[in-house]
Amino acid sequence: MKKNFLLLNILLTLLLPSNIVFARSQIYQGKCGFLLSNIFVDKCSALFNKGILTIMPKGAPQERIYPTQIESFSLSSKETIKVNQDLDKWQRLYPEQSRGFLFFKKKEGIPRWVVDATSKKVTEHKFVINYVDSYIFPRKVLFVLEDKSQAAAMQLSLRKTTGLYLGEKRKPGGSLSPSFSRKITKEVERKAQRIMGLCAAGMYEDSSPVISELNAYVENTINEISIFEKYELIANKIDADAIKTIAFCENKKVEELTQAKEAERLAKVKEIEEEKAKRLDAFEMLSSY
């Protein structure tokens, strides 16, 4: 029974492509605005997949946001969308925008749907996501759902992806929550199981991109969680899991190569013995004359 289950698991691993969209992946359509850059796009998608949020504005580069990059998310309003104008850091980071939309409520050239998002009235389908990008710059993205009925679903997607509640802030120096720590380790385990399934079946070329994906995930995650207390516990675990998985594949390749060489050697020995027997027979036949 156990053997059959293992075989079924390997078959499923091999048959399902790594980029398949499961029920745990969701995509939402709407409009988005990168508020600190004054970039606003009328057609935009928000994809939640494999624990990562990807903002996909039409005709513009995608923005991949890992969970630990997100400081908070909230419903858009006059209070949640603003920044602290007294901080000199903002002007140093964004000198060209320091007199722009967020700071002095500049409205010229700003789409109406963005201005409406600063209303005192809170609506359920407008979200502001605060995060730190891959260049370690603070960012604010506004996402306005096209279908208002999906508001609760998107809020749940944000909750499950970030491990935060609506309006809750991720504080540097604090501890990673147990649930979020489990989420990270489970994602590494999922990727590792797929890799080992491929390597167990000798599909080393197919395992290569998944190994790259695992390495990137581990590296990015460790970088992102480094601001939290005792992050090393999770960092060491996922790093060790990745190393163990890759070592399994390397050892499997070496084992198969060794077996192949041994089989080749035995085949050669057999061939030599067969030719030896033929030679002996030939000499014996000649010696009878």
**Amino acid 108: pLDDT:** 65
- State whether residue 104 is helix, strand or coil: helix
- State whether residue 159 is helix, strand or coil: helix
**Amino acid 107: pLDDT:** 60
Taking all residues of the chain, what is their mean pLDDT, rounded to a whole number? Answer: 81
Each residue's pLDDT tens digit, 73-119: 999 987 777 766 555 666 676 665 545 556 555 566 788 888 888 88
- State whether residue 116 is helix, strand or coil: helix
| Mean pLDDT calculated for residue range 52-70 | 91
Q: What is the CA angle 175-180-186, rounded to 5?
A: 135
**Amino acid 289: pLDDT:** 60
- pLDDT > 70 fraction of the chain, expressed in percent and rounded: 82
Q: What is the CA angle 165-169-174, rounded to 5?
A: 110
**Amino acid 135: pLDDT:** 82
Write the single-letter amino acid at 154: M
Query: How far is it, in rounded angstroms, from Cα 136 to Cα 241?
Result: 27
Q: Assign 3-class secondary structure to 49-80.
A: ECCEEEEEECCCCCEEECHHHEEEEEECCHHH
Nearest to 118 by CA among 90, 160, 76: 76
More confident residue, 124 or 9: 124
**Amino acid 90: pLDDT:** 66
Q: What is the CA angle 5-7-217, rounded to 5?
A: 95
Each residue's pLDDT tens digit, 193-247: 999 999 988 888 898 999 999 999 899 888 888 888 888 999 999 999 999 999 9
**For tokens 């990745």, what's the residue?**
242
Q: Pull the structure tokens for residue 33.
A: 């605005």
Query: How far is it, in rounded angstroms, from Cα 6 to Cα 232?
Result: 33
**Amino acid 32: pLDDT:** 95
**Amino acid 266: pLDDT:** 73
Residue 256 clears pLDDT 90, i.e. is over it: no
Q: Does the pTM of the predicted model rise above 0.85?
A: no
Each residue's pLDDT tens digit, 39-58: 899 999 999 998 889 999 99
**For tokens 């260049």, what's the residue?**
135
* Angle (deg, nearest 10), helices 204-225 and 178-200: 160
Phi, psi (degrees; rounded to nearest 5) at 231: -65, -20
Each residue's pLDDT tens digit, 13-33: 444 443 333 446 899 999 999
